[in-house]
Amino acid sequence: MTVLGVFSGKVTEKYEMNTAIDKKIISTDVYLDFNGLACDECADDKHHGGLERAIHHYPSEHYTFWQQHYQALGIERDWRISAMGENISTVGFDEDNVCIGDQFSWGDAMIEVSQPRSPCFKLNKRWGVDDCSIIMQDTSRCGWLYRVIKPGMVTNDSTFKLIKRIDNAMSIKQVCDIYFGQPLNQDGLTSLLSQPLSQSWLSTIKRRLETNNVENWNFRLLGRATR
């Protein structure tokens, strides 16, 4: 696995919203604490950031998919690494080979995969399209988030290495296939409860099992109550 870059952003008004999605490469050492990179900001700390969503990792390989998909529709955009708001961009790791609970040493720090990213309507605003969030969810090209186990200094040149994987680990893709693709599959949801997912995801899974109902995704995906 090759690290292509580490990125951070500042909150600004852009794409008709307050956002820190436009991130720039960090060329110097930076401290990673329990809430994320010291120089990174978050515009919406209710749905982004925090202890279990401290770092966002997005595979660079996905940008080819996005470019080809929208080019076929006659839509040209600047699909490049960091443009999905990720803090880490790599070659070689994706949703099929990274699992919930995977722990990585990164420079002086240690981080642990906590959940897939939940795509939202702000991606549609950022790219000026209506369905980026829906396609990201349907194809499981979501990337994933980390909690910080041990703070420390990191940089682009820091070694990034898998050091631990739990027994019966489920890949990001497997989790997405159940959580998004089969949201009321009782056996599937029960299997997710054995994974060290973020508390927000575990709470949602338990609520689905108890009520046999799926939360309304339209506001998250589209920014409105209905399609």
Q: What is the pLDDT of residues 3-25, one digit of tens each?
A: 899 999 999 999 999 999 999 99
Q: What is the pLDDT of residues 80-128, one digit of tens each?
A: 999 999 999 999 999 999 999 999 999 999 999 999 999 999 999 999 9
What tokens were used for 79?
A: 């699909």
pLDDT of residue 148: 98
User: pLDDT grade, residue 219 (50/70/90)?
Assistant: very high
Residues forming a β-bridge with 88: 6, 57
pLDDT of residue 227: 63
List the one residue out of 15, 18, 100, 27 whose CA is nearest residue 57.
100
User: Does residue 114 belong to any structural domain of this protein?
Assistant: yes
pLDDT of residue 49: 86
- Strand blocks (E) in the chain: 2-8, 12-14, 17-19, 24-25, 30-33, 36-37, 55-59, 88-91, 103-106, 109-116, 144-150, 152-154, 160-164
Report the chain's mean pLDDT, rounded to a whole number.
Answer: 95
User: Does residue 33 belong to any structural domain of this protein?
Assistant: yes
Percent of all residues in the chain with a pLDDT value above 90, rounded to a whole number: 91
Asked if the model's pLDDT at residue 171 lies above 80, the reply is yes
pLDDT of residue 44: 81
Dist. CA 97–CA 121, nearest whole Å = 27
Angle between helices 132-139 and 62-71 (to 10 degrees): 130
CB contact set of 131 (below 8 Å; sequence gap of 6+)? 124
Q: What is the extent of the structural domain holding 91? A: 2-216+218-222
CB contact set of 82 (below 8 Å; sequence gap of 6+)? 5, 7, 23, 24, 25, 89
pLDDT of residue 45: 78
User: Does residue 227 belong to any structural domain of this protein?
Assistant: no
Query: What's the structural domain count of the chain?
Result: 1
Block residue for tokens 């969810």: 137
User: Does residue 149 belong to any structural domain of this protein?
Assistant: yes
User: Does residue 198 belong to any structural domain of this protein?
Assistant: yes
pLDDT of residue 225: 75
CB contact set of 39 (below 8 Å; sequence gap of 6+)? 8, 26, 30
User: Does residue 176 belong to any structural domain of this protein?
Assistant: yes
**Lowest-confidence pick of 39-53, 169-183, 192-206:** 39-53
- Which domain CATH number covers 164? 2.40.33.20
User: Does residue 174 belong to any structural domain of this protein?
Assistant: yes
Q: Are the CB atoms for 79 and 66 separated by under 8 Å?
A: yes
Say how many C-beta atoms besides its own lie within 10 A of residue 216's C-beta.
Answer: 10
Asked if the model's pLDDT at residue 195 lies above 90, the reply is yes
Asked if the model's pLDDT at residue 47 lies above 80, the reply is no
Q: What is the pLDDT of residues 60-93, one digit of tens each?
A: 999 999 999 999 999 999 999 999 999 999 999 9
pLDDT of residue 224: 86
Block residue for tokens 């040209």: 76
User: Does residue 76 belong to any structural domain of this protein?
Assistant: yes
